[in-house]
Amino acid sequence: MRIGIDLGGTKIEVIALSDQGEELFRKRVATPKGSYPDTLQAIKGLVDDAEAATGQTGTVGMGIPGTISPFTGKVKNANSTWLNGQYLDKDLEKLLGREIRIANDANCMTVSEATDGAGAGKNIVLALILGTGCGSGIVINGKPHNGGNGIGGEWGHNPLPWADTEEKAVMDATPCHCGRAGCIEQFVSGTGFCDDYERRAGIRLKGDEIVKLAEQGDPIAEQSLQAYERRLAKSLAAYVNVLDPDVIVFAGGVCNIERLYTNVPRLMNDYIFGREFQTPIKKAMHGDSSGVRGAAWLWPLEK
């Protein structure tokens, strides 16, 4: 049995999977925000609950909104800031009495989709999380690519490529929360999509509301959606020019915009080196469950 934990800013979720990927148990609790000791105890409680319910002992993998530094062994880059600077894996190993595996939550999502989801059977799987922020994960031959600095797949805080006049104006006026200007996340996250519509229309709507307006023929909503598609295409093209994956998976709230799967591949040809793009782009098969499932699959079948 494999136990996966998804440690989020508002909730912690556990899942227990059989070796065949069958869900045996699932539970969520609220994240004890701001308290590291309480967070450790909440995780232990979920593992205990999973094992009590199934009558089995499992391996434990966990996805976190950050990464373990390969140099200090401490958590870094977590937006759940009380985790930063902590020896999370070592502390949990002491608490649970076994080895655990931890990876960035985007990498966990990608592992899930590469194992038995939209990227199953492919050697190099690239998955983009397009939601409140934007990030990505890379899986090569079934294993997450963390990188020598622990930041493999940190796509959203690179600069938007081939910026036009309109985009440069946004970069000059609005710095990214990371402290730099012009990050991809400012343009291709779900938040960035809503920001663009607000700049054009003067009112703020949710992403699905903007898409619905575009479907009804609203010209401003259509302009905003076309701008989003173009920005996503060129941001992704810069990624593909380096990695050239076998399949690309979209996850997060934005992945439900069906026209992306037709329009983005067509637009990619304008930016891909050689102007040939045939890589399949697919929607995440496991949806919101991909992260917690991928955490469980951090332990491969041969273990």
Question: Is residue 200 located within the same domain as residue 245?
Answer: yes
pLDDT digits 0-9 by tens, 198-235? 999 999 999 999 999 999 999 999 999 999 999 999 99
Domain interval for residue 86 = 2-111+288-296
Which position has the token pair 């609790």? 29
pLDDT of residue 217: 98
Question: Is residue 125 located within the same domain as residue 89?
Answer: no
pLDDT of residue 50: 98
pTM (2 d.p.): 0.86
Confidence grade of residue 301 (pLDDT, cut at 50, 70, 90): low
Residue 112: DSSP 8-state: H
Give the mean model confidence (pLDDT) for residues 21-36. 94
Q: How many domains does the chain have?
A: 2
Question: Of 49 and 302, which is predicted with more confidence?
Answer: 49
Question: Is residue 260 located within the same domain as residue 185?
Answer: yes
Asked whether 123 and 142 are in contact (CB, 8 A), the reply is no
Return the CATH number at 126: 3.30.420.40
CA neighbor of 69 nearest in space, from 85, 57, 82: 85
pLDDT digits 0-9 by tens, 104-140? 989 999 999 999 999 999 999 999 999 888 989 999 9
Which position has the token pair 């469980």? 296
Question: Is residue 20 located within the same domain as residue 141?
Answer: no
pLDDT digits 0-9 by tens, 52-110? 999 999 999 999 988 999 999 999 988 788 999 999 999 999 999 999 999 998 999 99
pLDDT of residue 302: 52
Question: Is residue 130 located within the same domain as residue 259?
Answer: yes
Question: Is residue 267 located within the same domain as residue 134?
Answer: yes
Report the distance separating Cα 30 and Cα 170, nearest Å. 36
Question: Is residue 216 located within the same domain as residue 76?
Answer: no
Question: Is residue 184 located within the same domain as residue 237?
Answer: yes
Asked whether 92 and 99 are in contact (CB, 8 A), the reply is no
Residue 80 covered by a domain: yes
pLDDT of residue 179: 86
Helices (H), 244-271: 260-268
pLDDT digits 0-9 by tens, 35-51? 999 999 999 999 999 99
pLDDT of residue 8: 85
Confidence grade of residue 162 (pLDDT, cut at 50, 70, 90): very high
Which position has the token pair 């309109």? 166
pLDDT of residue 303: 42
pLDDT digits 0-9 by tens, 277-298? 999 999 999 887 888 999 999 9
Instruction: Supply φ then ψ for residue 7, to 5 degrees.
Output: -95, 100
Question: What mean pLDDT, rounded, does the chain reach?
Answer: 94
Question: Is residue 89 located within the same domain as residue 160?
Answer: no
Q: Is the pLDDT of residue 246 over 90?
A: yes
Q: Is the pLDDT of residue 263 over 80?
A: yes
Residue 187 covered by a domain: yes
Question: Is residue 269 located within the same domain as residue 137?
Answer: yes
